[in-house]
Chain A
């Protein structure tokens, strides 16, 4: 029987060739099976693509937008350097920087070399690691540097590299006076980061302005006369971001318990709502998908089973000619596998086409979403593998049954 072992491989290629020849011969019914498979699989892929894309977009927005991780102080407080050091040492706090007094700490800006109307902009204290600037600009690393919001840059006609003249006014003893500082625009951040006219500067510039307005001299900038501010500095507020969404509530509660209790505002409620929505959406999608997938696998498995039944006579002829049962089983398995492969690939191609249409539509209608309908390569690989396995298992079961039948029955039944 040494010949038999040598035959193995050629027998396998033979049966694969026969199975393929039969598929081609019956190209109409093969095409119908492929189309039927694609017709059921494509909507499922689109459904999954939408679910994945929508939830992914929501979560990305939720996690990525640093404003969701901000804790804002309502009103004023009194915070010293020690408080800020304590806050920075907290695990949950990603970023904290002091704010000076006056909700609108404004400054007047105009380009250095142009005579034009001064523009009042809001000063925002920033520092290295500012989550708001992350991905858009490197925060200023010295007091003479400024990052402008797009609105400010438009108003004064500035761009990165422009030097701007900042001026501050004060009224001491009934007399108005004005001092200047030259600032270098290091970057301009888009409206999505800060929608109003704003300028991100180092806290030291803000404290200098605060001192000057309070009537002190600021030797570092050469502003005013008289004595400079000495003593312990207190800040009236802060910009604070926590590390994770889950940290918002904890840090909020901690601040509320401090001293007389600071009142803060967070987006915790909105976050909770989005999360709840995500959970419901996921659950709904899972239910629909479960029904869809179960129906798909059943109907596809059934049609593969029927296909084997239809092939009973051919399988019996192969048995009569001396093909062994395990080899014959390959005949319908290979056929089902090829049909599943073609159908799944067709479905994936259709999915790509439909997802491009969907994503184009939403990109035009609602700009902030990108890739609303999309799947990862691993998702596609899983759907392809599941289809193949299901098809081949169904065919194998049916084929096993049909090769158990004595060949004479299969030959004479029709």
Chain B
């Protein structure tokens, strides 16, 4: 059986211009196999978030030779083309259905209870209610918090809720941007371990951006190659497999 690649990127980049120096994220080649667990490691500011945003289709790359997203084995989508045609709703649809994104700061809606926050992605996809919320809450140890508003939770609890929300609609990919940055080392390890475990059980492709070198390798995640290339007036941050 041929390998099923969820993401296939070739020559994808995004440049941020600053007055003194431009910064470019550059991905010469990146293929991510379905079910893989990838760690994007690097110091903060090296473009990890940018890479994840491009994968999440929330940021348009300004260079894109080819970028295909294949959530299920048969339906590959040329994301570069969809961006080019400004079909943002198509991207929203793909994202809503197939991607769970754990933001660095949770990104929970402050006006919804924890339960409603977790169930929202399922509702967006038109999926029926089930006991997934309770199960996830139990696994993530937030069962007692379901009826509270996010503001009443600790940062660590909120981050667990964000993880639950990213998993609730049974996505094929989870992208997590420094999901444990605001947690203490012990909780961070716990949460990260849970994410990896839940993803593995459900055969979900997992891409985590982190500056925690040790934690990720301990979990047995595959590290993405990264190097910084100093050019003329330009700092190039290169990620590749």
From A4, A21, A323, contact of B112 by CB (8 A):
A21
- A residues 387-414 touching B (CB-CB < 8 Å): 403, 406-409, 411-412
Specify which chain A residues have a CB less than 8 angstroms from the CB of B124 in the assembled complex: 11, 14, 321-323
Contact B92 A322 (CB under 8 A): yes
Specify which chain A residues have a CB less than 8 angstroms from the CB of B112 in the assembled complex: 18, 21
Interface residues on A, range: 20 to 34
Tell me whether B58 is interfacial, beta carbon within 8 Å: yes
Query: How far apart are A155's CB and chain B's nearest CB, in angstroms?
Result: 77
Tell me whether A270 is interfacial, beta carbon within 8 Å: no
Tell me whether B134 is interfacial, beta carbon within 8 Å: no
The chain B residue with its CB closest to the CB of A313 is B107
Tell me whether B60 is interfacial, beta carbon within 8 Å: yes
Specify which chain A residues have a CB less than 8 angstroms from the CB of B60 in the assembled complex: 406
State the CA gap A112–B88 with chains docked (Å).
97
State the CA gap A324–B92 with chains docked (Å).
6
Tell me whether A10 is interfacial, beta carbon within 8 Å: yes
From A3, A21, A323, A326, contact of B111 by CB (8 A):
A21
Contact A321 B96 (CB under 8 A): yes
Query: How far apart are B166's CB and chain A's nearest CB, in angstroms?
Result: 10
Contact B58 A407 (CB under 8 A): yes
From B49, B58, B97, contact of A406 by CB (8 A):
B58
From A22, A321, A407, A408, contact of B120 by CB (8 A):
A321
The chain B residue with its CB closest to the CB of A8 is B126
Tell me whether B109 is interfacial, beta carbon within 8 Å: yes
| Residue tally, chain B, CB below 8 Å to A | 28
Contact B89 A10 (CB under 8 A): no
Tell me whether B56 is interfacial, beta carbon within 8 Å: yes
State the CA gap A275–B101 with chains docked (Å).
71
State the CA gap A273–B123 with chains docked (Å).
69
Contact B126 A25 (CB under 8 A): no
Tell me whether B224 is interfacial, beta carbon within 8 Å: no
Contact A408 B59 (CB under 8 A): yes
The chain B residue with its CB closest to the CB of A317 is B107
Tell me whether B193 is interfacial, beta carbon within 8 Å: no
Query: How far apart are A181's CB and chain B's nearest CB, in angstroms?
Result: 88
5 A-B pairs, CB-CB below 8 angstroms? A11-B124, A320-B101, A322-B92, A323-B92, A408-B58
Which B positions have Cβ atoms within 8 angstroms of A?
49, 53, 56, 58-60, 88-89, 92-93, 95-97, 101, 103, 107-112, 120-121, 123-126, 149
Which A positions have Cβ atoms within 8 angstroms of B?
3-4, 6-7, 10-11, 14, 18, 21-22, 24-26, 313-314, 317-326, 403, 406-409, 411-412
